[in-house]
Amino acid sequence: MPNGSHKTYLYRPPLKTDVILMNQANSLNETATKHLKDGYNCSQSVLLTMAEHWKCKGELIPKVATAFGGGMALCGSACGALTGGLMAIGIKYGTNEPSSEKAARAYELGETFYRRFEKQNGSVMCRELIGLDLSDIEQRKKAREEHVFGKKCPAFVKSAIEILAALSPDKI
């Protein structure tokens, strides 16, 4: 910038809705963290937290998310927090009918969620996020010994929950 000129930054104080969303995200994160500590995997924790929040009940929640932990059955593929979030969107906005029109809302929100998760975390792949390939037995053992699931995965669960909460009250 030329001498004597300065850049002006505009500050917008938080709106009431911003504060409500932050408080809601914090509360949801506490719930998801509790689920992780209770022994649920990342996918189950996100799905269960959002299902409870949206008051969606079903005997398959969080059971259906069990094999999605560790990047799809401990294979290091798609992050369980991501898949749990997508399942939550499906439960809230999905359809039981073979209708592409009725599925459109779930696809729209699912894609937005996926893209934001990828941008915020740099990847959607578990092996890239945690730095270990869980499909390799030795690396899986190392992950357990080094408590990787307890050290790294809570951040991805938190990210998923915050993105879901931020998609806006009228959408989520």
pTM for this one? 0.85
The domain limits of the chain are 42-166
Closest CA to 86 of 97, 73, 72: 72
Tell me which residue of 50, 32, 2 sits closest to 156, measured CA to CA.
32
pLDDT digits (tens, 9 = 90+) for 8-31: 556 655 555 556 666 778 899 999
Let me know how long the chain is.
Answer: 172
Q: Are 126 and 149 in contact (CB under 8 A)?
A: no
Q: What is the pLDDT of residues 77-120, one digit of tens each?
A: 999 999 999 999 999 999 999 888 889 999 999 999 999 999 99
Dump the DSSP string for 19-49.
HHHHHHHHHHHHHHHHHHHTT--HHHHHHHH
